[in-house]
Structure 1
Amino acid sequence: MNILDLPVDILLLIFPRLDATSFLHLTSTCKSLHQSEFVHDAQFWSNIVRDTFRVPNQPQVQHDGKRWQKLYKRLLTQSRIYTWGSNDKACLGHSFEAPQTAHPHVPGLIVRRAPGHRRRHVSWPAEMEGTENLGVVADVQCGGWSTSMLTAKGAVYTVGVMDGEQFNQRRPPYMQAIKMQPTPLRYPPGFTQAAERHDNKTAIKQFSTGRSHVLGLSDSGRIWSWQDIDHAALHVKFLHHETKEEVSAGRGTVHKVVGGWNKSVALVEGCGIVLWDPLRRGHDDTAIEDTALVMETAVVPNTTYRQTRGKEDTAAPGTIDSTAEIIGEVQSIVALEEIVLFNTHLGKLFISSIIWTRDEQRLSEPFELDVTQGVENADVFVTDVQGSFRSFAVFLKDGTVLTSNQDRALDALHSTGSQDPLFKSVAALQHKDVISVAFGDYHFHALHAPGYITSYGNEPQACGALGLGGHGDPEGRLRGMRYQGIGGDGRLLPHAYSEGRRVWFEEEKRDWITFLTAGGVNPAEAAPRLRMALGSPGMDCQGEISEWIEQQGRDWEDKFDVRSEEDDGLGAYFALSVTAAGWHSGALVLVNEDLAAKVQAACEVRDPALVEEEEEEAQPGADELQADYEEESTSAASPSLLASATAIAYDWGRWFLGLPPYNSAAGSQQHLRDTLAARNKARRAAERIEQIHSPRNYGESPRKGYKYVWANDHFPRLRLTNGVEMPGEVEFDEWRFARPEFDVHAGV
């Protein structure tokens, strides 16, 4: 029997049993199998990516086979961790301050920190240190004072402090200490450490970070809990609920763990959504203890329903009469400060209030939230819910993304008749292929399917949590930030909520915007526009300039025409996931270093003037030295040419060490050195004066002998939406894409 005679359903059952190489060989055997529906089979590629690299499922793109196939190829070598925001307790994994280049207000000034000084704020995404030997990183999540990573081998590494409220105390109860380098979370003695080799009981397939603890679900289905990086994990067992290991379905199977803000959550088949207080080892606990029996738990009522796998639902419409089946099967869970939110396979969203006192621990009956409020499409189907602390986002099947917070949800639960709408609709998130939304205390990020991240919200004390640069400087203002108050709190302008503000990973983009903040090629001509954009009380000019810059940066690779047929279409920097908590953020990014190098090279051009100047400066010095050598060799009474050359070599070697020459006859050499030193000193002084009076030097050149292609560009001049024309002597700039319709009340 020919394999092509088999029904398609049979082929789809065969594919999951193949590895990637065998699958590609099979689909290459004939034209019939080399069709897109087979080669890019979404179920095969999503399963193999998640099984091989432990990448979490992304419901919004689970049917995009091409995307999963590209991720499989790039995850092998290109995963990188970037973090930004407040570096309190070293939660970003950036150990020391790197030397900075010139400051925009004082070009040429080098600002250095004392050795060992940790960066307090990081406004641009920076790669986490010490991750080179971790292998493929599959997931990254932020805690209140930490950042944790899951590797393809199932090991969890953490930086910072897991519980920042128990920090660095040298006496009992011995508070937690900072971890500046990624540190593997460990297990009690007798268990295989996941960082060393694979074991089903300790290899983590899914993990979740709460505010001050980490939960992990192992390959065997065991729940592990950490509350201190230095302490071994505790195996979680429940007094009132049965859990089973080494099974994929059936009563007691743990399907998911969720680290809530102040609670731990697990989805247990036959029990439903189980909630308990995070476990904590005391300072006098012995390391031998490996299991904790949780006495006090609560369950969200009517969350036990599970669909029959492999069979279609045969129940006729209207025949479902149990409350559990009306609610449906739980899909995603969010545990906020006071509520639990979850969506089900029926496309519904539910809320349950947490009642947790000394005398009572329970969760209220699930209440369905009305997602149709503010949605034009009457056929509303919820596909996912995500959130943290007091904020959450709801994803609809048609591409709509709604945001809300805990207070509004509680008002709806208690029917208080609040005037505030339950949901808000941010224009930049609607039908823009948003995969996930990550919330910090006052900011949030959206991850879009094409691999970019957008930022929204506020930055306390200009901590850099949005990743848009600046830290109170002009670069952040050109991205759409307003800084106010004593602490310099940053607030994103309403204009930024129309299309969003993307997080930049390209270093050359930072040089470009730095060049613009310095006034471009002609700072004097641009000064009135700079004052109008960055110094005026009104926000219209700043908002539109920031959108113009956003459009230029959005089309960066196409702008420099560096794409080729060999590129996979994912770009030089492809964000696979984004996370946020507190005042900091992080992302798992696939970096195509070859393409990134092409983009950077396309931004640079040789500077003939500088090359010629270097040659002119170098040549006279060489001629003078050669002439002096010849003069010395003819006048000195050296027995041979070799001896003369040796003496000269000794003299110059001692000169480099700051010692007097061996040969007293080399007085003319000393005169020559003094002359050249004075000349170099004068040249350096002239260069410093030129830099101080020429701010355009800041950001126009990547290195000596080269200039950026924008070195002759001016600061943008626009015709604003309100009809005002920005002042200047240069031509008006055009928009790269259509100018959006700005909502000045967005984001408020």
Structure 2
Amino acid sequence: MATPTTLLDLPVDILHTIIPYLDAPTFLAFTSTCTALHSPQFLNDSHYWSTLTRDTFRVPNQPVAQTDGVRWQKLYKRLRTQSRIYTWGNNEKGCLGHSSETPAHVAERPELLRRYALARRHISWPVEMQNTRGLGVVSDVQCGGWSTTMLTAKGALYTVGVMDGLHVNNPRHAHVARMQAPMLQPTVLRYPPGFVPAHERHDVSTAIRQFSAGRAHVLGLSDSGRIWTWQNVEHAALHVKFLHHETREKGQRAGRGTVRKVVAGWNKSAALIEGAGIVLWDPLQRRHDDAATEDAALVLESAVVPKTDFRRSKGNQNARQAVESLADSPLDVTVGEVLDFVLLEHVVLFNTSLGKAFASQIIWDDNTQRIDEPIELCLSETTDEDAPAATEADPPFATSVQGSFRSCAVFTSSGAVLTTDQDRLLDLLLSRPTDRPLFTRTPALQNHGVISVAFGDYHYHALHSSGHIASYGNEPQGCGALGLGGHGDPEGRLRGIRYQGIGGDGRLVPHAYAGAGRRVWFEEEKKDWIKFITAGGVDPAEAAERMRMALGSPDVRCQGEVSDWIEQEGADWETKFAGRGAGGGGGEDDDGLGAYFALSVTAAGWHSGALVLVNEELAERVRRGCEVQDPAALEPAGLEADGKQRGGEAASSAVAEEPSSPSRVLSWAASTALDYSRWFLGLAPYNAPATAPTTPVSSPPRSDNATAAAGRTVERQLIHAPRSYGDSPRQGYKYAWARDSFPRLRLSYGVDMPGTVAFDEWRFGRPGGEG
């Protein structure tokens, strides 16, 4: 009698063919049937978990992280309940989705109103966008020039701000003109009458599976393969059709005409269409006299990027079709199949299945609309002299291209991230002589698990596989685009920002481009910690000289090293306050991804955003770990008869009288000594106002929906309120760092920072291997 064939007797390829058809519960049950199937080879199958996560929640593909099955499995578990949207930077036209209402107590104080208005216009710390938790699972977020757009797991798009901040709407009367009205709350993008809104019910023609936010318009690709375009939040979408290209939707014969991806650029729209290649056209928009019922627009003028139409034959094609495809397509061995592309202002950049990257110039005016022949980029040409030279046996292999406006990056299989700009690409495309190398290798981006890079006008962010975001570039007018704190205040300087010029433009010190960069913080308690350290710590008088060296000296070396030390302390936050080890463990509520895990990052103009998975239980455990009970709180509160406070602690009252007599002046000055260090910083030689400390106004509390926002008011925090300098989270408690001093380091260039406190040690060793 023949031995029956068991499941494990089947070839592994057959098992991998079966697995994609299983849902998550069935797959986990299947892999639990025996030890062999419960092995990482099957349990953490990267193709299964990445496909399941992207199909279930419409998460965009991340080619660099495609093979990380463990990461995709954890993301799948957390996305359903933990997705949050954070934004920061310039809040022009409400593009960050934060409330613009002014608290009553601020409106009554003219001296506070201007400061508050600046604080709401420039958001330098990540703040959760209001009224987004009711939208369901948010799977993607992208910034436009004056807007931020989100995609939900249902396939609905929501936008805040305005899509086109320069376009003027013309109502019925042509002599009356107005700008697009800002949307301060997430507003669903509409479709023409007769189409099912995606947020109400699923329909393959309107449920968006992939979208792209350009400078002044949004493109969406539906489940059926239909292209939709929006240029105004108040107007319904237009279905994009082409005069010279055929597009097909599901239900029709697959293959030629299928739209694989859409990209909205600075001033053009683009789509990758099978059989045609990368097609470009001018963004469509509704005119004031267009009928509201019009649902489609025909693109009369378009251009195709040459040599991008090759598509490898599929398994369901017959042998004759495959032979014809190869015979007619020498591109198979010279260019390859286009995998991804980005649209810059005047350049198209794409990578192919052969590991090559190409660039083409866009020629577009009233007389000519064409794309020049693509030129292959030499991926081994960089500014890094220490970079390993590529050999013929192991040449650089491009895995992804990313970019927007005038900046872009090429990712390689070796873990390198090569950045360049449009001007340098045009030098190559136009054969202009230059001494500049084609690419730059920023040390902090190389082989550090960078998954994606998001570019704004002057700043950019890198998303790492560990779930953190690092910031680079410049911050115009101290707008907060880097997300490192600031507005020109010392908090941003302690993170490594140098504010210069009349407008207070911020530039990162050179140290920020080495090591681990400068991370964006989402923890509220970290903001209090940096305020406390910047205010001088427990003894600002003892720390005054060190603060001048670190924050007020034209020599960037001390500021750079102190910001490196601050960065290491912030990176080890959960280990210190939640007991999480280097391996990521720390409790049943901890899956190793941390309290705040960034799934994606986006940037445009002067603002940024991120989709973050927030483990509320772990975040609360970290917050509790930062707090200790204040023994002084057990004593009766109040002031002594001579006007001094009990225990020498600063008063925590939210309302304070202005000093009007010599004795009260002395008492007030003594109780606010921690904040006088800010006055010392006024001596800085670059863009630091020489004024006495002023009354700071806190930002509005984080709010996730309208109910929470209505139930909270902005606390009036005067100069000596404990939280204003970060030593106490609330009455009766102190932070664990309330007795810490401003850092004192032995600097790498042979100088010891002055002071009487002990020298601080480097948590992970001095960057660069010294000390």
Bucket of the pairwise TM-score, normalised by the shorter protein? 0.7 to 0.9
Q: 1:311 to 1:685 in 2, by over 3 A?
A: farther
Separation in 1, partners of 2:63, 2:306: 25
Separation in 2, partners of 1:115, 1:488: 18
The residue matched to 1:525 in structure 2 has which SS?
A: helix
Aligned length: 674
Partner of 1:8: 12
Letter in 2 for 1:388: S
Partner of 2:203: 199
Q: 1:256 to 1:558 in 2, by over 3 A?
A: same
Shift of 1:311: 9.0
Partner of 1:66: 70
Q: 2:28 aligns with which of 19, 24, 29?
A: 24
TM-superposition CA deviations, 1:641-695 (whole Å, max 9, x none): xxxxxxxxxxxxxxxxxxxxxxxxxxxxxxxxxxxxx9xx999999855542343
Separation in 2, partners of 1:114, 1:463: 14
Q: 1:113 to 1:76 in 2, by over 3 A?
A: farther
| Residue pair 2:90, 2:606 contacting (<8 A) in 1 also | yes
Partner of 2:420: 404
Deviates more, 1:686-695 or 1:162-171: 686-695
Letter in 1 for 2:595: A
Query: Does residue 264 of structure 2 align to residue 259 of structure 1?
Result: yes
Letter in 1 for 2:756: E
Partner of 2:152: 151
Letter in 2 for 1:92: L
Q: 1:357 to 1:258 in 2, by over 3 A?
A: same
| Residue pair 2:165, 2:179 contacting (<8 A) in 1 also | no
The residue matched to 1:303 in structure 2 has which SS?
A: coil
Q: 1:252 to 1:238 in 2, by over 3 A?
A: same
Q: 2:618 aligns with which of 595, 619, 626?
A: 595
| Residue pair 1:95, 1:118 contacting (<8 A) in 2 also | no
Shift of 1:415: 2.1
1:291-440 equivalence runs, <5 A: 291-310=296-315, 322-323=330-331, 325-374=333-382, 375-378=387-390, 379-440=395-456
Partner of 1:480: 496
1:448-597 equivalence runs, <5 A: 448-499=464-515, 500-563=517-580, 564-566=586-588, 567-597=590-620
Deviates more, 1:23-32 or 1:508-517: 23-32
Shift of 1:175: 3.0
Query: Does residue 636 of structure 2 align to residue 613 of structure 1?
Result: yes
Shift of 1:725: 0.7
TM-superposition CA deviations, 1:180-227 (whole Å, max 9, x none): 000000000000011111100000000001100000000000000000
Partner of 1:130: 131
Query: Does residue 275 of structure 2 align to residue 270 of structure 1?
Result: yes
Shift of 1:101: 13
Shift of 1:414: 2.0
Shift of 1:130: 1.0
| Residue pair 2:540, 2:673 contacting (<8 A) in 1 also | no
Deviates more, 1:606-615 or 1:438-447: 606-615
| Residue pair 1:533, 1:541 contacting (<8 A) in 2 also | yes
Letter in 2 for 1:140: V
Q: 2:753 aligns with which of 716, 726, 733?
A: 726
The residue matched to 1:451 in structure 2 has which SS?
A: coil
Deviates more, 1:559-568 or 1:16-25: 559-568
Q: 1:292 to 1:687 in 2, by over 3 A?
A: farther
Separation in 1, partners of 2:316, 2:242: 32
Partner of 1:656: none
Letter in 1 for 2:673: H
Q: What RMSD in Å do the two structures reach over aligned CA positions? A: 2.9
Shift of 1:29: 1.5
Partner of 2:284: 279
Identify unmatched segments of 5+ residues in structure 1: 103-108, 618-677, 744-748
| Residue pair 2:168, 2:177 contacting (<8 A) in 1 also | no
Separation in 2, partners of 1:426, 1:400: 9
The residue matched to 1:119 in structure 2 has which SS?
A: helix
Query: Does residue 672 of structure 2 align to residue 692 of structure 1?
Result: yes
1:110-189 equivalence runs, <5 A: 119-166=120-167, 172-189=176-193
Shift of 1:28: 1.1
Letter in 2 for 1:613: P
Q: 1:605 to 1:361 in 2, by over 3 A?
A: same
Letter in 2 for 1:20: A
Partner of 1:216: 220
Letter in 2 for 1:344: T
Letter in 2 for 1:166: H
Partner of 2:688: none
Separation in 1, partners of 2:599, 2:116: 34
Partner of 2:743: 716
Separation in 2, partners of 1:601, 1:238: 58
Q: 1:99 to 1:501 in 2, by over 3 A?
A: farther
| Residue pair 2:98, 2:130 contacting (<8 A) in 1 also | yes
Partner of 1:746: none
| Residue pair 1:173, 1:283 contacting (<8 A) in 2 also | no
TM-superposition CA deviations, 1:683-715 (whole Å, max 9, x none): 999985554234394211111110000000100
| Residue pair 2:578, 2:621 contacting (<8 A) in 1 also | no
The residue matched to 1:280 in structure 2 has which SS?
A: coil
Q: 1:687 to 1:79 in 2, by over 3 A?
A: farther
The sequence identity of aligned pairs, in percent, is 64
Q: 1:147 to 1:257 in 2, by over 3 A?
A: same
Separation in 1, partners of 2:88, 2:769: 28
The residue matched to 1:521 in structure 2 has which SS?
A: coil
Separation in 2, partners of 1:685, 1:136: 54
Deviates more, 1:90-99 or 1:602-611: 90-99
Query: Does residue 52 of structure 2 align to residue 48 of structure 1?
Result: yes
Q: 1:130 to 1:487 in 2, by over 3 A?
A: same
The residue matched to 1:610 in structure 2 has which SS?
A: helix
The residue matched to 1:133 in structure 2 has which SS?
A: helix
Separation in 2, partners of 1:340, 1:742: 40
Letter in 2 for 1:353: Q
The residue matched to 2:120 in structure 1 has which SS?
A: coil
Partner of 1:629: none
Q: 1:58 to 1:188 in 2, by over 3 A?
A: same
Q: 1:161 to 1:601 in 2, by over 3 A?
A: same
Letter in 1 for 2:462: A
Shift of 1:281: 0.6
Separation in 1, partners of 2:502, 2:104: 25
Separation in 1, partners of 2:267, 2:170: 22
Shift of 1:6: 2.1
Partner of 2:646: none
Letter in 2 for 1:91: C
Separation in 1, partners of 2:176, 2:381: 53
Identify unmatched segments of 5+ residues in structure 2: 581-585, 641-656, 676-719
Separation in 2, partners of 1:321, 1:10: 32
Q: 1:557 to 1:733 in 2, by over 3 A?
A: same
With the length of structure 2 as denominator, give the TM-score of the two structures: 0.83
| Residue pair 1:97, 1:118 contacting (<8 A) in 2 also | no
Q: 1:480 to 1:414 in 2, by over 3 A?
A: same
Separation in 2, partners of 1:165, 1:550: 39
